[in-house]
A and B are shown apart, each in its own frame.
Chain A
Amino acid sequence: MLRLELMEELKIPVEAPKLKPDVIVNCSSIKDVEHIPVHHGNEDAYLGDFFKVSGEIDDSVLIEGDLRKVKRIGEGMSQGSIEIHGDVGMHLAKDMSGGKVFVDGNVSDWMASGMSGGIIRVNGSVGNFACASYWGEKGGMSGGVVFINGSAGADLGRRMRRGIVFVSGSVGKFVGVDVIAGTIFVMGEAAEGIGAGMKRGSIVLYRQAGLLPSFLYSGEFKPYSMLLYSRYLGDLFQLELPLEFESGYFRRYMGDFLSLGKGEILVWSH
């Protein structure tokens, strides 16, 4: 495993889109890794200017330090793993298509935007627009699995069209806005605007929340598919859903009727 340690606190942001296993596995020496280009503010720089690099080169990377001003780590990654110990900056795992990212800390905005595959686990909270499409872009997250073991900000999963997002804490406003398909779980509180404009897809809530009037109550039932999620996420993240949740009844609200109206908000029925 390759180890990167931030040498000193950053005042100006560093953008490191090439800090990913796809690039690192092609490096033949530690020196090559240190020469991976980054942007420091409006200047070109190298990874080695900010990080102490050690360990063996393979497809797994450990990054340590206060990375709040380091952006775009793992951008477009398709293989290997990145493990981050510490808080990390914006655009983490943007356009990720494969591999694994593990963060033991908090993540800033725009995490996993445009994600199409791979697995992310955050032991902490994430900012706004996680798993969301960028402004002006038609499609959001189109695959992969994200587990946020904390809370998420606003616009989580905006315009999502496939994939699974699980949040163990609460979420900000407009979770799942304009969703086309995919599934978002929220075990904590969800702020207003849930699923606004959604066409299809599922938002699963453990607690009742205030819903938009364009969502209509559609009955109570037992979705066996919840068992599939429970086993799958359990295996992937050693996550245990409450038994009554995975095999219980759910109130179903369909909407958004201002859009196609075939989306669903499932609320666990106490």
Chain B
Amino acid sequence: MNSMLSVLEDTFAEAFKMYGTRLVITAVNEQWAMHAAKCITGFATSVIGCGCEAGIEGEVERTLDGRFGISVLIFSMSKESLEKQLLNRIGQCVLTCPTASCFNGLDSEDKLLVGKKLRYFGDGFQMSKVIGGRRFWRIPVMEGEAVIEEGYGVTESVGGGNILILADSVEHALYASERAVSSAKCINGVILPFPGGVVRSGSKVGSKYKFLHASTNTAFVPQLRAHTSGSLPSGVRSVMEIVFDGLSLVAVKDAMRLAIEAAAESEGVLKISAGNYGGNLGKYKIYLREVMEVGNHA
């Protein structure tokens, strides 16, 4: 713990309120379930540029139809925008994918009735089936039949939890990030939406250009030390960020703790920090040392 504290900066990650849902995608085998899951979570790294943040949560042991299943999490800033994203993504990525079906994976009173709109693709030949209190739509398609659940649970979630791994080389920063990602993925209800779970281009709010709302995080860019306030410790030659979106604050904190533990033990890691905007923008301040203390007491 002491060695970990020495690399852990006394700062906080600033996270935001988002709305999230969990979908369970099943198909005839792993290959086709994964095609649909990868497709539906594609181009969903940042809500700023993609409209939502999404990722594969993991394999589902027992699915409603008994086939191979993968759960994915999708987050957006409002219920309305999440519904729009689900409509587009289920419609374009699951409805189109051979043998794939889409089910709700989040127990919540609050539901987005996406299947109710997607059913119209059946052009009047769709059929509704209520099984175990849940409504499913059987939509006739050229392959045969697509099964899409009507309602998807939505819950207030946490987006933008993060850590920054400051290392003495690109290789060490990347290796530490890979370890951190691999550890954090053990936590249910959390996804790391960026490529491989890692961001190399962390951003700050605003820029010198009026038309740009976010730009490179100059304070953590190693080769811009001459122009910044010098918050980057000497010897740091590369910084990677890991972003965490979760269905609950607890899940995000747990994932961050595992990620920090894994990264801190990695060779060449000089500091572990976090991105924030002075605490003025996000609803949640996740203090890194608090996260580790909670983990230690648990």
Contacts and interface: CB of A to CB of B under 8 A. Distances in A.
Contacts of B101: 224
Nearest to A220: B144
A221 B138 CA distance: 13
B144 A229 contact: no
Nearest to B103: A228
Contact of A223 (B66, B132, B138): B138
A218 B65 CA distance: 25
A229 B132 CA distance: 9
B99 interface: yes
B133 to A, nearest CB: 9
Contacts of A214: none
Nearest to B138: A225
Given A229-B131, A231-B66, A222 B136 contact: no
Contacts of A143: 130
A224 B129 CA distance: 12
Given A183-B129, A228-B129, A228-B136, A222 B144 contact: yes
Interface residues of A, number: 21
B224 to A, nearest CB: 54
Given A202-B127, A228-B65, 14 more contacts: A163-B130, A164-B131, A221-B144, A222-B145, A223-B138, A224-B65, A225-B136, A225-B145, A227-B67, A228-B147, A232-B64, A232-B131, A262-B125, A264-B127
A231 B66 CA distance: 7
Interface in B127-165: 127-132, 136, 138, 144-147
Interface of B: 64-67, 99, 101, 125, 127-132, 136, 138, 144-147
A100 interface: no
A228 B132 CA distance: 10
A224 B131 contact: no
Contact of A225 (B66, B99, B132, B147): B147
A163 B65 CA distance: 18
B145 A228 contact: no
Given A228-B65, A231-B65, A231-B66, A221 B145 contact: yes
A19 interface: no
Contacts of B138: 223, 225
A225 B146 CA distance: 8
A200 interface: yes
B151 to A, nearest CB: 15
B144 to A, nearest CB: 4
A231 B144 CA distance: 20
29 contacts: A162-B130, A163-B130, A164-B131, A181-B128, A200-B127, A202-B127, A202-B129, A221-B144, A221-B145, A222-B145, A223-B138, A223-B144, A223-B145, A224-B146, A225-B147, A227-B66, A227-B67, A228-B65, A228-B129, A228-B131, A228-B136, A228-B147, A229-B131, A231-B64, A231-B66, A232-B64, A232-B132, A262-B127, A264-B127
A225 B129 contact: yes
B46 to A, nearest CB: 34
Given A200-B127, A229-B131, A224 B66 contact: no
